[in-house]
A and B are shown apart, each in its own frame.
Chain A
């Protein structure tokens, strides 16, 4: 079974600075997809960014970018110019090519210091 590990239960960053959230995963599949979801205090699950495993180019969405290292099975999220609204739980998620449901990590609680 696939597993997703987020080793940082909590991270803190000053407003306007850059922070990187770590995620590693374990799989024997070659075809899969990776996602970062954000869950603010409202409890909504909001898709932040996604990456197809077959693409070598790292995905970018405005201030959010990923560092995808397939051989190392690492998928970190970088948030640039952190804003107060970025404060939330961030979940890394894996989805295999067989199109099952998402496997989530335990999450990282991101705190933004004003």
Chain B
């Protein structure tokens, strides 16, 4: 158990819809990272938050957004969903934004019908 909690584990929805994925980092971790794993693109870094502030952006689409709340949990919002957004979405956390390794949650499997 990594200590990172992601909900829900599975999500099935339709094209054009909007969903919110939730992540609770390990106790004491200030940094949260979101990743997308798909067959086409592999594992891609989407975005990082550190103590409530956006720290780094990767290959995140404009239809996607995220935030980190004062209690350090984070949400990833995906809107105007397309079939190609079907993927496994991981959240990871680390103590700071420096060298400490990132610990991954179990992921949310998103299926777009």
Contact = CB atoms under 8 A, between A and B. Distances in A.
Contacts, number: 52
A16 interface: no
B103 interface: yes
Nearest to B33: A101
A32 B56 CA distance: 16
Interface in A33-79: 33, 35, 37, 42-47, 50, 52
B4 to A, nearest CB: 10
Contacts of B33: 101-102
A101 B56 CA distance: 7
A70 to B, nearest CB: 17
B102 A102 contact: yes
Given A43-B88, A45-B104, A52-B99, A91 B45 contact: no
Interface of A: 33, 35, 37, 42-47, 50, 52, 91, 98-107
Interface of B: 2, 33, 35, 42-48, 55-56, 58, 88, 90, 92, 97-99, 101-104, 106-107
7 contacts: A42-B106, A44-B107, A45-B90, A91-B43, A98-B56, A101-B35, A102-B33
